[in-house]
Structure 1
């Protein structure tokens, strides 16, 4: 079996691992957001609370749209941010080249 390496240095196996980890992290983060919004809506007592929920959702949408960048040149940075924020663990990235894991780990500490 031949391993294909892209121009950016990611193997097809690493891309598959990356996609799986990104999907899992996105699911975790969005489930957490839904629970937070549900809690806020359930405790809502006035219009000001409604606008606060709106503001939270607007900011989070902007954040999520930029955070989950799956372009190969950006994956190291994407994973470092997700690791720093606690949405993924280094173990979940098992199967990536050790140099990539070291970069992700180092960047997550900045």
Structure 2
């Protein structure tokens, strides 16, 4: 993750945001590792190897797109992570109430 300054966010909020973001990223990678281990047990042909390769390529693209810490979209990122169950709203406790309300509302859709 890039050390990005979130303008309009307190130092405490930035620390909370970075920690929550990192936790969600770690969960996403843990899920991927479990999935790859499971899929690797089924490798028995060239086709299954290429299918695993394709799966990993898609997952890399998905993860890189999902975990974008740029200030202009961070509330959307958090909402998506909550919706995808990679982040709990409670892990963002300490953020401004307005930010939490926006994240919670966006996560419903």
Distance 1:25 1:70, change over 3 A: same
Determine the structure 2 residue equivalent to 1:76.
75
Larger relative CO (CA 8 A, sep 6+): 1 or 2? Answer: 2
Q: What is aligned with 1:3?
A: none
Given the two structures, how large is their TM-score scaled by the length of structure 1?
Answer: 0.90
**Contact 2:6/2:71 (<8 A) preserved:** no
CA shift in 2, pair 1:7/1:61, >3 Å: closer
Secondary structure of the residue aligned to 1:61 is: helix
CA contact (8 A) 1:8 1:73 kept: no
Structure 2 CA distance for aligned equivalents of residues 19 and 61 of structure 1: 21
- Cα distance, 1:72 vs structure 2: 1.8
SS of the counterpart of 1:79? helix
Change (3 A) 1:104 1:7: closer
1:46 and 2:45 equivalent?
yes
CA RMSD of aligned residues (A): 1.3
> Normalization by structure 2: what TM-score?
0.90
Q: Specify the alignment match of 1:16 in structure 2.
A: 15
- In structure 1, the gaps of 5 or more residues are 1-5
Q: Which runs of 4+ in 1 moved over 4 A?
A: none
